[in-house]
Amino acid sequence: MRAAIEAWHYKVDLKPSPIEPSWIIEGHPEARNCVLSISADRAAFTLIWSCTEGKFNWYYDVDETIVILEGSIVLEGEGMPPKRYGVGDVIYFRRGAHAKWHVEGYVKKVAFFRQTNPFPLGIAIRAANKLNSLIARRRPAGLLAE
């Protein structure tokens, strides 16, 4: 059984995670990552990702929110002119988005991924979660530890 609370530091060991070669526009960017957490239903996960200098396309097949921890990037997206982002900036990419990344030297980010569900399924999941939370509140305190 997994612990209910886990913790990491953003300076974890990262493993090679090559960028799709056909996406690379310029340079030889080298990406690395380390998965920190995965939800029980595998619909959400968190990782630390870093990359060396280069330009490349990125295509998003899930929702992704990032927080830049080190370095900077210039992003360009559909209907969005190039803009520089650095330490502390938070960026959200919707599933289906495409962005051109220009890593200026080096970047490290924490990324939060979430699979999106069709709207009717999302309503059902929220209803089930609400029901579970109501049931959990009615349990005697001693039963919560089971």
Instruction: Encode the chain (146 residues) as per-residue pLDDT tens digits.
Output: 667 776 777 778 899 999 999 999 999 999 999 999 888 888 889 999 999 999 999 999 999 999 999 999 999 998 889 999 999 999 999 999 999 999 999 999 999 989 876 667 667 766 777 777 777 776 665 555 54
Task: Give residues with Cβ within 8 angstroms of 26, minimum separation 6.
Answer: 54, 55, 56
**Is there a domain that residue 70 lies in?**
yes
Q: What is the CATH number of the domain that holds 61?
A: 2.60.120.10
Task: Give residues with Cβ within 8 angstroms of 112, minimum separation 6.
Answer: 44, 45, 46, 64, 65, 66
**Do residues 93 and 143 both lie within one domain?**
no
**Is there a domain that residue 61 lies in?**
yes
Angle (CA) 107 112 115, round 5°:
135
**Is there a domain that residue 2 lies in?**
no
Task: Give the domain extent around 146.
Answer: 118-146
Query: 45, 38 in Cβ contact below 8 A?
Result: yes
**Is there a domain that residue 77 lies in?**
yes
Please list the residues that pair with 76 across neighbouring strands.
Answer: 100
**Do residues 39 and 103 both lie within one domain?**
yes
| pTM, rounded to two decimals | 0.75
**Do residues 53 and 79 both lie within one domain?**
yes
**Is there a domain that residue 20 lies in?**
yes
The structural domain count of the chain equals 2
**Is there a domain that residue 24 lies in?**
yes
3-state DSSP assignment of residue 142? helix
**Do residues 107 and 143 both lie within one domain?**
no
**Is there a domain that residue 143 lies in?**
yes
Written as six digits, the tokens of 12 are 């974890």
